[in-house]
């Protein structure tokens, strides 16, 4: 959460500085303040930005959303939206918007690893988890926690112009991204058919062993050829890549939710050594195990 707050302030401050440099007035009036409760937040505002919530797993999300302050926050967001405020959120913060009901019948995104929970809790929301940033009317949502930077650049572009947003991105030395597809796991891509779901469930119970495509096909009671066709139709992947993605999916879960050493994580998902795990994660995510583990403390 602290990272999201800092990114919000830094991007808007950068936008103002760059606007002044080009002879324009400040584009954003940013006044940080701390409220004792939501009763202090009575003044109407143009834009409300919700940071990440600091969640490590789905159970934490459920518990956090049931807390009194989260319910009060959702109520505040509902009233702010009704009063005409623009609302924006990233990562698990998007759940608060959904709790407030302001995402019903709107397109939205959230962090890829919480997408299944989100879709289950909020069927009225048109979730597009592959998108990094989604704007639907006065509501803008963003995916994984570090996508908060992409969220803020989108808001700068919306209110200060795309030229200013591009200049901010160049100044901050970041690329503007549109998709989080490289990070989305098989569980969140497409609804697999029942046989593929059976194979996936079986594979997740045997990831710590040496399993291959023939084993997956046998678990689904299909020939390897038929299974290859069905897995491609359901996920757009080859069986070998699907299995690799499952291993990486489990590795990400273990890195986020346990203190297992990288070697232990590698063995738990069927790799003989950390090098093989690093190679698979680099191929699927473009990130190392160390980077993924670091996200749980600095990104949510």
241: CB partners within 8 A, 6+ apart: none
The top-scoring range by mean pLDDT among 14-23, 86-95, 279-288 is 86-95
Residue 131: pLDDT band (50, 70, 90) is confident
Give 27-73 pLDDT, tens digit per residue: 888 766 666 666 656 677 899 999 888 777 778 889 999 999 999 99
Whether the Cβ atoms of residue 140 and residue 134 lie closer than 8 Å to each other: yes
Residue 132 and residue 222 in one domain: no
Give 209-255 pLDDT, tens digit per residue: 989 989 999 999 999 999 999 887 766 678 898 899 889 888 988 88
Q: What integer pLDDT is reported at residue 186 of this predicted model?
A: 56
234: CB partners within 8 A, 6+ apart: 190, 191, 192, 193, 196
Q: What integer pLDDT is reported at residue 294 of this predicted model?
A: 75
Residue 142 and residue 290 in one domain: no
Q: Which domain holds residue 178?
A: 2-183
Residue 28 and residue 174 in one domain: yes
Give 245-294 pLDDT, tens digit per residue: 889 888 988 887 888 999 999 999 999 999 999 999 888 776 789 887 87
Q: What angle do CA 270, 280, 282 make, to 5 degrees?
A: 150
pTM for the model stands at: 0.63
Residue 174 and residue 71 in one domain: yes
Residue 140 and residue 200 in one domain: no
């Amino acid at each position: 959460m602290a990272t999201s707050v800092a990114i919000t302030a830094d991007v808007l401050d950068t936008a103002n500085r760059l606007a002044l440099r080009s002879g324009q007035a400040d584009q954003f009036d940013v006044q940080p303040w701390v409220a004792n409760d939501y009763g202090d937040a009575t003044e109407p505002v143009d834009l409300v930005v919700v940071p990440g919530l600091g969640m490590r797993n789905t159970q934490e999300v459920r518990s956090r959303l049931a807390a009194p302050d989260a319910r009060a926050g959702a109520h505040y967001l509902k009233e702010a939206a009704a009063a005409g405020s623009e609302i924006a959120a990233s990562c698990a913060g998007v759940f608060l918007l959904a709790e407030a009901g302001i995402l019903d019948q709107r397109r939205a995104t959230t962090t890829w690893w919480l997408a299944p929970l989100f879709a289950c809790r909020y069927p009225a929301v048109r979730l597009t988890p592959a998108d990094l940033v989604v704007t639907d009317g006065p509501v803008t949502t963003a995916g994984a926690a570090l996508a908060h930077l992409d969220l803020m650049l989108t808001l700068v572009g919306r209110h200060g112009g795309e030229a200013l947003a591009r200049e901010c991105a160049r100044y901050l030395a970041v690329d503007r991204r549109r998709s989080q597809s490289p990070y989305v796991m098989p569980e969140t891509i497409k609804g697999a058919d029942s046989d593929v779901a059976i194979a996936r469930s079986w594979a997740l119970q045997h990831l710590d062993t040496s399993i291959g495509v023939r084993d997956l096909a046998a678990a689904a009671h299909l020939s390897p050829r038929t299974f290859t066709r069905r897995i491609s139709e359901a996920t757009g992947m080859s069986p070998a890549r699907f299995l690799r993605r499952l291993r990486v999916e489990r590795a990400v879960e273990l890195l986020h939710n346990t203190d297992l050493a990288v070697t232990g994580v590698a063995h738990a998902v069927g790799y003989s050594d950390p090098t093989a795990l690093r190679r698979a994660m680099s191929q699927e995510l473009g990130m190392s195990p160390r980077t993924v583990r670091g996200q749980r403390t600095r990104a949510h």
